[in-house]
């Protein structure tokens, strides 16, 4: 067996810690994936080692969240600089499950097709108590959906595809996203005009300035530490070893969990299939087990072989490609905006791995922040719009954390009482399927911003998403509803019949001439003049529009307002509220 790369243990606030890449050697290829080392680049400097000018946005951290934010800003024409301390994409699978909601975000960024072409879709999983199957779950999935509820894709592939899209954007608009590899942030200061950053790379040190700094620099965030901030919340004692192996198995793509298996009693083992015949195994260390000893190559090899023997695949050849260790925690900053600095991803919060809310929450952060930061950087909106980012995403954290903590308390019982409850539930689950629901891993899903300050009151509808909710996918006569929604403010007009209310023309004209990115999309029944040829009565019913309706959607797909009959002036008021505009929208 190939020796794994052993890494240091992580705490609950940081998640798995990747190995430090060699300064001279590339990380070894994994399956079909070959690493590339990117060149360090230093911009022209003025005397004193200062880069001239001030960048609209500087992003600390070129991982998946930082690159997603950069592409989101690029959708609105805002340039940025990414400072990435490494000179390759990440080592190890790390975050490996991409949700349907994240795939919708990736579509807006131009990488959904690449993710789908390589990723492995799945819809459910099985849980075992000892050797008996006690629970099987299926995530919501029906004919209305364009995308699967989840795909498995290693993080290095995710970063690679985001990076390829950055290269494409830069070919079309040189310098749109200036990514600086091997560049470490060493100091920062901020004032009313922006941030001043000290950095260093292999060529030396220099200073640059930005109007805004987005801290996407992960669980070990330098920015967070430099501002004297810390994550607060719940850290769990349960430790999980993460092992990636290359195994040529024909088992289908699904989530498998074994509780108290005979080959690892008193523990939990998880297993996921990933592209290129890479399998992710997570297993819980028992109390008293040494993390350092568990990560030794001989111990890893012994555990994996014992596990494969137990599930009937011990005869297959395999090799270890990566190991790490993880401690679950649900922790967050109190605020995600600190003057000219905003936090996103693991720099802002830590999530347990159960329910795959880590990277998926980070992608939601980037999706929420990108359009707001772009409007503020362009001077269209007041900086107060960024406070709404903090409010909405912290509210989302608490929703996600509540669900994740329920799963975590089951997967890693924090006390003897929880341990007894789990044992009772598992022992009864085979015979009592209702009790088996306690085993449900509660996979991530889109969160409603129920108390968003950006939402406007509108009309009550018999169905459909409320303000703050994501517009759900619907199948149309030709394509899907999300095909009509661009990363701009979208007025979705539903006209099931000729008597459906018409839009106030002057309101629409004012919005189209304003500074906010704006589009109108119409779904109409056959025979409605001047409308797109999309017809599906089920869509009108699902969205509460049997007699017509209008939805105003934000650039991140959340509903800002909805009306049965949109009154004169309502559109302007909703747009101003949703964007905290400095000027009238029509200026």
pLDDT at 144: 80
pLDDT at 267: 85
Integer angstrom CA distances of residue 472 from 315, 368, 433, 553: 45, 17, 30, 11
- Say whether pLDDT at 261 is over 90: yes
CB atoms within 10 A of CB 181: 19
Backbone torsions φ then ψ of 160, nearest 5 degrees? -60, -45
Rounded CA gap, 70 and 83, in Å? 11
- 92: number of CA atoms within 13 Å, CB side? 23
Q: Binning pLDDT at 50, 70 and 90, where does residue 149 land?
A: very high
- Say whether pLDDT at 369 is over 80: yes
Q: Binning pLDDT at 50, 70 and 90, where does residue 586 land?
A: very low
- Say whether pLDDT at 256 is over 70: yes
CB atoms within 10 A of CB 204: 10
- Percent of the chain at pLDDT > 90 equals 65
Chain centroid offset of residue 472 CA: 18
Which DSSP category does 354 fall into? Answer: T
- Say whether pLDDT at 225 is over 80: yes
Phi-psi region of 544 (alpha: psi -120 to 50; beta: other; left: phi over 0): left
pLDDT at 50: 97
Sheet order of strands, 97-99 included: 97-99, 150-152, 120-122
Q: Binning pLDDT at 50, 70 and 90, where does residue 164 land?
A: very high
Rounded CA gap, 245 and 266, in Å? 23
Q: Binning pLDDT at 50, 70 and 90, where does residue 461 land?
A: very high
Angle in degrees, 0-180, between the axes of helices 505-513 and 570-579, rounded to the nearest 10: 30
Helices (H), 54-187: 64-75, 100-109, 112-118, 155-172
- Say whether pLDDT at 179 is over 80: yes
Sign of CA dihedral 485, 491, 492, 496: negative
What digits encode the pLDDT tens for the residues 99-130?
A: 999 999 999 999 999 999 999 999 999 989 89
pLDDT at 5: 37
Name the nearest CA neighbour of 35 among 113, 92, 85, 117: 92
Phi-psi region of 355 (alpha: psi -120 to 50; beta: other; left: phi over 0): left
* Mean of pLDDT over the chain: 87
Backbone torsions φ then ψ of 45, nearest 5 degrees? -120, 150
Which DSSP category does 583 fall into? Answer: S
Tokens of 302: 């012994």
Rounded CA gap, 583 and 587, in Å? 7
CB atoms within 10 A of CB 208: 23
- Say whether pLDDT at 21 is over 60: no
What digits encode the pLDDT tens for the residues 500-550?
A: 767 888 889 988 888 888 999 988 876 555 444 444 688 899 999 988 999
Summarize the confidence of residues 179-203 as an average pLDDT.
97
In terms of C-beta density within 10 A (0-12 exposed, 13-18 middle, 19 or more buried), how is residue 365 classed?
A: buried
Integer angstrom CA distances of residue 211 from 57, 191, 197, 373, 579: 6, 10, 11, 11, 19
- Say whether pLDDT at 585 is over 60: no
pLDDT at 534: 43
Rounded CA gap, 57 and 537, in Å? 44
Phi-psi region of 572 (alpha: psi -120 to 50; beta: other; left: phi over 0): alpha
- Say whether pLDDT at 1 is over 50: no
Cβ-Cβ contacts under 8 Å for 43 (sequence gap 6 or more)? 51, 206, 208
pLDDT at 112: 97
């Amino acid at each position: 067996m190939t020796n794994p790369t052993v890494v240091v243990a992580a705490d609950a606030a940081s998640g798995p810690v990747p190995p430090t890449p060699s300064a001279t050697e590339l990380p070894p290829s994994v399956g079909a994936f070959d690493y590339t080392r990117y060149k360090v680049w230093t911009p022209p400097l003025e005397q004193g080692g200062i880069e001239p000018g001030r960048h609209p946005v500087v992003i600390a951290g070129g991982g998946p969240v930082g690159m997603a934010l950069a592409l989101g800003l690029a959708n609105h024409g805002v340039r940025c600089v990414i400072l990435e301390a490494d000179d390759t994409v990440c080592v190890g699978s790390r975050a490996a499950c991409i949700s349907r909601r994240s795939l919708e975000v990736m579509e807006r960024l131009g990488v959904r097709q690449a993710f789908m072409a390589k990723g492995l879709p799945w819809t459910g999983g099985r849980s075992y108590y000892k050797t008996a199957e006690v629970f099987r779950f299926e995530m919501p999935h029906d004919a209305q959906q364009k995308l699967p509820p989840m795909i498995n894709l290693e993080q290095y592939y995710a970063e690679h595809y985001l990076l390829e899209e950055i290269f494409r954007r830069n070919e079309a608009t040189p310098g749109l996203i200036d990514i600086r590899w091997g560049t470490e942030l060493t100091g920062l200061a901020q004032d009313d005009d922006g941030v001043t950053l000290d950095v260093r790379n292999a060529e030396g040190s220099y200073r640059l300035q930005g109007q805004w700094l987005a801290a996407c620099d992960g669980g070990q965030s330098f920015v967070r530490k430099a501002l004297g901030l810390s994550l607060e919340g719940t850290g769990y004692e349960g430790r999980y070893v993460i092992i990636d192996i290359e195994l040529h198995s024909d088992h289908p793509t699904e989530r498998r969990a074994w509780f108290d298996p005979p080959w690892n009693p008193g523990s939990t083992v998880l297993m996921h299939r990933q592209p290129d015949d890479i399998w992710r195994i997570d297993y819980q260390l028992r109390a008293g087990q040494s993390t350092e000893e568990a990560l030794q190559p001989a111990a890893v090899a012994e555990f994996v072989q014992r596990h494969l023997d137990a599930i009937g695949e011990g005869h297959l050849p395999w090799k270890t490609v990566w190991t790490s260790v993880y401690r679950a925690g649900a922790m967050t900053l109190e605020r995600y905006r600190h003057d000219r600095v905003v936090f996103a991803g693991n720099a802002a919060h830590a999530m347990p791995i159960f329910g795959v809310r880590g990277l998926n929450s980070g992608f939601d952060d980037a999706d929420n922040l990108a359009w707001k930061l772009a409007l503020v950087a362009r001077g269209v909106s007041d900086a107060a719009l960024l406070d709404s980012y903090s409010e909405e995403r912290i509210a989302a954290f608490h929703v996600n954390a509540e669900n994740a903590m329920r799963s975590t308390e089951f997967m890693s019982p924090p006390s003897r009482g929880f341990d007894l409850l789990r044992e009772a539930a598992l022992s009864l689950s085979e015979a009592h399927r209702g009790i088996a629901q306690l085993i449900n891993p509660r996979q991530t899903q889109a969160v409603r911003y129920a108390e968003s300050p950006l939402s406007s009151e509108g009309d009550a509808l018999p169905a459909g998403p409320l303000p703050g909710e994501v517009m759900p996918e619907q199948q149309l006569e030709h394509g899907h509803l999300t095909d009509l929604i661009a990363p701009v403010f979208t007025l979705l007009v539903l006209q099931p019949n000729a008597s459906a209310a018409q839009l106030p023309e002057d309101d629409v004209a004012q919005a189209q001439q304003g500074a906010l990115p704006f589009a109108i999309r119409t779904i109409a029944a056959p025979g409605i003049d001047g409308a797109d040829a999309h017809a599906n009565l089920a869509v009108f019913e699902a969205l509460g529009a049997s007699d017509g309706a209008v939805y105003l959607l934000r650039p991140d797909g959340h509903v800002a307002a909805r009306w049965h009959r949109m009154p004169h002036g309502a559109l302007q008021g909703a747009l101003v509220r949703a964007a905290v505009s400095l000027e009238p929208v029509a200026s």
